[in-house]
Amino acid sequence: MLTQETHALGADDLVVLVNQEYETVREMLRSSILKHVGIEEEIDNGRGPIPKPSEERFPYRGIEYPAWPPLGEGLSVFNDRDKQATSPKEYQLTSKPYNRLEDIAGYSEVRIRVTDGKELLGKRATVLQVRRRDYSKERARLHHSIPIPLPYKESLTFSIVTNTEVAMIEAVPRQLPGLVVRYFVPNIRMGDKSYLENFLISLKKASTEF
């Protein structure tokens, strides 16, 4: 965490289900991020798959895991369970740096993947995948039961989702009366067949309650 006002949610990623058309959610989300922190990069899959981000960013140490996006390209982790004929429309943005702390060369950036969920869920819906990456240069530690500080600093990066990013998402429903969002926290068991089946059941159940 890079600011005392930030409250960590104990998650590397957040999956958000929205009861609205892809194009509408995409534009409202884009507007929200532009207003809150600005957009550094954006791309869609209109001309091919969205490129994967680099797992490392020199000089910061720390491989990005689990792989991005956690639900796969075009929600492909569910392909064996719900045969999708075509890849859904997708858009991805990466924010400009925020939470800057010059004394530790620290900053945050949020990455959001927006996917049309109509084919997967059988009704009008959009799926968001959210991950924040924090970068900082801090005192190194030996991580035992009690972390032991070392006499040098190292550049580190890690994934997190906090109330700051949730606030950016929550700004979207306020733009359109009747828009509803549901939040899910995936975990590293995304390769587990039974877990994926249950996760998809949860998404479908939530979509029927809109």
115 Cβ contact partners less than 8 Å away, ≥ 6 residues apart: 22, 71, 74, 75, 88, 89, 90, 126, 127, 128, 129
Per-residue pLDDT of the chain (210 residues; tens, 9 = 90+): 333 344 555 688 999 999 999 999 999 999 999 999 999 999 999 999 999 887 666 666 667 778 899 999 999 988 864 455 578 999 999 999 999 988 777 899 999 999 999 999 999 999 999 999 998 876 555 555 556 655 556 777 888 899 999 999 999 888 888 889 999 998 766 668 888 889 999 999 999 988
- Going by their DSSP bridges, the two strands 126-142 and 181-184 should be labelled as unpaired
143 Cβ contact partners less than 8 Å away, ≥ 6 residues apart: none
d(CA 83, CA 90): 18
